[in-house]
Structure 1
Amino acid sequence: MASTDSMKDLLLARDYRRAVDEGRALLAEDPRNAQAWVFLGEGLEQLGQKRAAWACYNRGWMLDPAAGWVEAAKARLFPLAMGPLPGWLEELLAVPRVTVAAALIVHNEEKTLSKVLEAVKPAVDDIVVVDTGSQDATVEIAKAAGARVFSVEWQDDFSAARNAALAQVTSDWVLWVDGDEVLDSEDVEVPRTVAGLFDGLPEPVIMRIVQVNRLGNRWEPNYDMSRLHPARFGIRWWGRIHEQLGPPEGGVYAKSYPRPVVRIRLIHEGYQPEVMKAKGKLERNVRLLEKSVQDDPNDVASWGFLGRERYFLGQLDEAIDALYRAEQLAAQNPSYGRVAEVRQFLTEALLARDRVDEALAVAERAVAESANFPAAWYLLGKARLTKALALLRGAKEAFGKSLETAPTYRGIVSFDSDIARWKAPAAIADVLKLSGDWVGARAGYERVLSTAPELEIVRKQLEQMDRQIAALAHNVAITKAKG
């Protein structure tokens, strides 16, 4: 039976023709299998069919936008990807024709909207824009771009505005775009392709897109933005802010839907600190989230977002309270998918407040329940390191106290005189070394040897440090010479 495992085995055995045959059979059954597309591309590449190989890789990339192999494959094949495709591959790549609408809610977006609509227009069949009271040229720009424009009164509720836009959609699928997000030109074909691939499923699928955020001088992809979905199942938005797509009734967590991520990249600069500050976004978010938890004290999502936003504002104590509340409510909401994020910010906030033992406990819960979440392991390490450094500082203090009390001790119980002579000073030097103060550590070890020259273990410690220092100096010299 065809499977990605058997394809992998055939590729490793260099039986490329059979791997291609298995890939064709597997993808005829399930054209949404990203790994099968990649393996099919590998087989075709090995057979010298560069154009066909890139077409397969590209489809796999659409279905797995975080894939690490993409840039290398693109460099190898994209310049050679010319000419017609084999007929069987054209058929395999074909998807049912469905219509897609872009839907936007906007407010005073005249600086960015024209570029946004120009980029998304070739990717969709219709554009629906809902304006929430702009005082600039936003409405005129939207109409000039061919969008169908509607106006609604702003009610401190992003979901209400999005649902008003949703009511105007007549296409099969909806792609949600914000007024400052520009679709990557390389992804113009993706919305219709993905919609066609997933349209025939009996249950709805909500697709996550890639919001590529500019943060300072780097670009950071965000894969948790649910933005593309079929219109026919009654899916709607829930929540005043940081709104989320969910079932038509019962709240966002009344029913869980599959949420695969696809390569629809929206380039976004709205999270730049100067933009956030100018628009007062965090303060606005906190205000709306406070309304949300007043409306529903059991709204786990709003508590989580409120804690996150308060953390960003430096309101650490309030953030901790909100995040603990979200973690507590998450236990009663198994469909809530952001508990790992809640624990991430809770750990950070607790560490910032020097509540290290609490932070350790939260991080340990995070890795126990989200073992595949890299940030959980990182924060567990950070909490353990913070604890270790605190223990080192405490150890140094304790060793120092042993030296301080030795000369004046007159108690009945005697103590080891080597504690004052060399053991405590050597232990302090150990702490300094572990803490990164090698200059202080080396001086400490030398003082120990001056009073206890028979200590070969300390002499060896010094020799090892000198070798490491020499090696480091050598590496630094080589790096400078290369630079």
Structure 2
Amino acid sequence: MEENRNSHQAIKEALQQQDYRLAERLAKAQLEEDPWDAQVWASLGEALLHRGYGEAARKVFNRAWLLDPEAGWMQSVQSELGKRETGAERYDIELLLLTKPVRLSAAVIARNEEETIEKCIRSVSNVVDEIIVIDYGSTDRTLDIVRKLPRVKLVQAEWHGSYARVRNEVHAHATGDWIVWLEANEMLHPDDARPIREAACLFQRFNMPVALDLVLLQRKNGALLQSFARSRMYPLGRGLFYEGKVYEHLKHRAASGTQLPLIRRKIRVRLQSISSLMHEGEKAGIRLELLQGMLQEQPDHPMWLFRCGQELAVQGRWEEALNYAREADRIGKTLNEFPKRLELAILELRLLVELQRWEEAERAAMIALVSFPDYPDFSYYLSQIHMRMAEERYREAERSLNLAMQGFATYRGPDPADHDIADWRRRYMMAELALDGGELAAADDEYRKLLKVFPEWEELKRRREAIQLEKDALENMEPRGTRNG
């Protein structure tokens, strides 16, 4: 680790001093030892770019991006590459990028997937060396579709109430050096046929088995959202296996039987979720049924309580989900270690927001920020909560003002009411509420009416001037062609 830091620093200094030949030499030497270091690949790309080797730099930057899918620099790099000459061929760089071929298997778990299974399989049919579909009880046309597709090995398995068992059964049928898992409603991005094989070849050289997280692209309300699908790709025959009836997870066991830590890395290989109404309710029901079975066996296990809360939340059963989440939190606090504390805090907060229990949500967000001060989601949720609380208070204030005005019409008590409220204070308060709510036109209209009564009230004049400035600024920002005429 210390050697890597020293190498990174030496390369960085060479780039800062614009000694690009030295930076290239240092980066190449480091990559001979550690070809999985995205930062060094990016530094090598920068050196090559400055030396006029545009095409070699492009290939090197793509390798860096494969190893660092969250890199924020790639857009500016691509823009810069477009301005540069291709440059002479660099055979030494081609050799550095070269990897030894491996055999790659793709696997898909299927049950009643007739809507998407063909598209899923065809997305990898010319990419991998074999495709295994394991079906655990389809009653629709899934089996007929799979049998008609070329190069697909169909395995029909009995359902024993364990997803781990289904996945482990595939290992016995796969002949590849590596395996990649796709859900039946996913497809490999068409541009990632080369990177998926490149990643398998590259990590085959790693001295320990590595599980690779792939990018998952999903559409929501028209937007393309990116997350990571955990441990979708890994080497076979190196002690990796699945554990857990539901929410199964990959484990690493040595030949001696000793459990070993699992190394995980993110790579830029993209899976796309295929839009489908396919039996998602049925699948969620199976997961929830399995989880409730686990809870019968281990009623005080916070992990199963947490997972039940997640599944119920997906189904929109917010109150039930919150009860499970809170029970998981209560038991989790009694343990020295519970690995899902962060995710549990997020779940509880999301549920309180969905239920519009703003004060409880505010407390939950504040507590979470104490435990996880650097996690940005909690600050975002807190801002959302405060905004909703402000809206609630705005509506309460409006209701109170309306009640006050009704009271002036009906009150006949011995103590005189403050008629300034009816005459002008209510109007001033309505203007303030409108301004706080961003209703500039309504606020300006109320201030205008007040100035007819109090023509020398300077504060009101300043407020109207500020509103006009804000209106002018908004009009200047308005795109051309949006106005009538």
Deviations 1:110-149 (A, max 9, x none): 5544443343244434433322133435367358532333
Could you say if the C-alpha distance between residues 100 and 478 of structure 1 is closer, same or farther in structure 2, counting changes exceeding 3 Å?
closer
Could you say if the C-alpha distance between residues 314 and 117 of structure 1 is closer, same or farther in structure 2, counting changes exceeding 3 Å?
closer
1:306 corresponds to which residue?
Answer: 308
SS at match of 1:171: coil
SS at match of 1:31: coil
Q: 1:433 aligns with which of 435, 441, 446?
A: 435
SS at match of 1:263: strand
Deviations 1:312-347 (A, max 9, x none): 32211012112223444555474635x444433422
SS at match of 1:226: strand
Could you say if the C-alpha distance between residues 470 and 185 of structure 1 is closer, same or farther in structure 2, counting changes exceeding 3 Å?
closer
SS at match of 1:68: coil
- Whole-Å separation in 2 of the counterparts to 1:168 and 1:144: 18
Q: 2:22 aligns with which of 8, 11, 18?
A: 18
Q: 1:92 aligns with which of 86, 91, 96?
A: 96
2:53 corresponds to which residue?
Answer: 49
- Whole-Å separation in 1 of the counterparts to 2:265 and 2:110: 27
1:35 corresponds to which residue?
Answer: 39
Counterpart AA for 1:466: Q
CA contact (8 A) 2:187 2:274 kept: no
Deviations 1:77-109 (A, max 9, x none): 489897985233233223354443222222344
Q: 1:150 aligns with which of 155, 158, 174?
A: 155
Q: 2:172 aligns with which of 142, 167, 175?
A: 167
- Whole-Å separation in 1 of the counterparts to 2:395 and 2:149: 66
1:467 matched to 2:469? The reply is yes
SS at match of 2:176: coil
Could you say if the C-alpha distance between residues 201 and 452 of structure 1 is closer, same or farther in structure 2, counting changes exceeding 3 Å?
same
Q: CA deviation at 1:203?
A: 4.1
- Whole-Å separation in 2 of the counterparts to 1:81 and 1:177: 39
CA contact (8 A) 1:113 1:142 kept: no
* Contiguous gaps of at least 5 residues in structure 2: none
SS at match of 1:40: helix
Q: Across the two proteins, how many residue pairs are aligned to each other?
A: 473
- Whole-Å separation in 1 of the counterparts to 2:167 and 2:479: 60
CA contact (8 A) 1:103 1:166 kept: no
Counterpart AA for 1:46: H
What does 1:17-416 correspond to in 2, within 5 Å? 17-74=21-78, 77=81, 85-135=89-139, 136=141, 138=143, 141=146, 144-215=149-220, 217-247=222-252, 257-270=262-275, 272=276, 274-275=277-278, 280-328=282-330, 331=333, 332=335, 334=337, 336-337=339-340, 339-371=341-373, 373-395=375-397
CA contact (8 A) 2:114 2:145 kept: no
- Whole-Å separation in 1 of the counterparts to 2:15 and 2:131: 44
Cα root mean square deviation, aligned: 3.7
CA contact (8 A) 1:449 1:458 kept: yes
Q: CA deviation at 1:20?
A: 1.7
CA contact (8 A) 2:125 2:131 kept: yes
CA contact (8 A) 1:212 1:268 kept: yes
- Whole-Å separation in 1 of the counterparts to 2:376 and 2:304: 24
SS at match of 2:124: helix
Could you say if the C-alpha distance between residues 73 and 268 of structure 1 is closer, same or farther in structure 2, counting changes exceeding 3 Å?
same
SS at match of 1:228: strand
Deviations 1:385-434 (A, max 9, x none): 222333444455566777787987867xx999977776664344212210
SS at match of 2:444: helix
- Whole-Å separation in 2 of the counterparts to 1:13 and 1:76: 20
Q: Greater CA deviation, 177-186 or 420-429?
A: 420-429
Q: CA deviation at 1:382?
A: 0.7
CA contact (8 A) 1:104 1:165 kept: no
- Whole-Å separation in 1 of the counterparts to 2:473 and 2:283: 50
Q: CA deviation at 1:60?
A: 0.8
Q: CA deviation at 1:447?
A: 4.1
Q: CA deviation at 1:461?
A: 0.9
Could you say if the C-alpha distance between residues 214 and 460 of structure 1 is closer, same or farther in structure 2, counting changes exceeding 3 Å?
closer
Counterpart AA for 1:363: A
Q: CA deviation at 1:41?
A: 1.0
Could you say if the C-alpha distance between residues 22 and 102 of structure 1 is closer, same or farther in structure 2, counting changes exceeding 3 Å?
same
- Identical counterparts, % of pairs: 27
CA contact (8 A) 1:105 1:179 kept: yes
2:11 corresponds to which residue?
Answer: 7
Q: CA deviation at 1:62?
A: 0.8
Counterpart AA for 1:86: R
- Whole-Å separation in 1 of the counterparts to 2:480 and 2:310: 45
CA contact (8 A) 1:52 1:89 kept: yes
Could you say if the C-alpha distance between residues 367 and 280 of structure 1 is closer, same or farther in structure 2, counting changes exceeding 3 Å?
same
